[in-house]
Amino acid sequence: MGTAEKPKLYALSTCSHCKSTKKLLSECDVEYDYVEVDDLEGEERKAILADIKELNPRCSFPTIKINDTVIVGYKEKEIKEALGISV
């Protein structure tokens, strides 16, 4: 895997595209940080939503950050390319 930092996946527990993205990362044996935003409350939730809006102003899900690349939605090819995995 060609990433310098651990990818971070921002997701919702009810989002099917989020589940697909999570499954893809697991199938590719990628270690990643996972934040289920709808499970957060109060200040923690506000802080995470502010982080997401910096990456993705529409604040839609899934939002995944891989090094300097931000991918919004389930885009298998783009995710694999950002991870340095051949497609």
Q: How many domains does the chain have?
A: 1
Cα separation, 63 vs 51, whole angstroms:
11
In a domain, 75, yes or no: yes
Domain of residue 40, CATH code: 3.40.30.10
In a domain, 34, yes or no: yes
DSSP annotation string for 26-64: HHTT---EEEEGGG--HHHHHHHHHHHHHH-TT--S-EE
pLDDT (0 to 100) of residue 5: 86
* Boundaries of domain holding 50: 8-83
In a domain, 23, yes or no: yes
pLDDT (0 to 100) of residue 1: 47
Its pTM stands at: 0.91
67: left (phi over 0), alpha (psi -120 to 50) or beta: left
In a domain, 1, yes or no: no
Torsion of CA 73, 74, 80, 86, to 10 degrees: -140
pLDDT along the chain (87 residues), means of 10: 78 98 96 97 97 96 97 98 91
In a domain, 2, yes or no: no
In a domain, 43, yes or no: yes
In a domain, 54, yes or no: yes
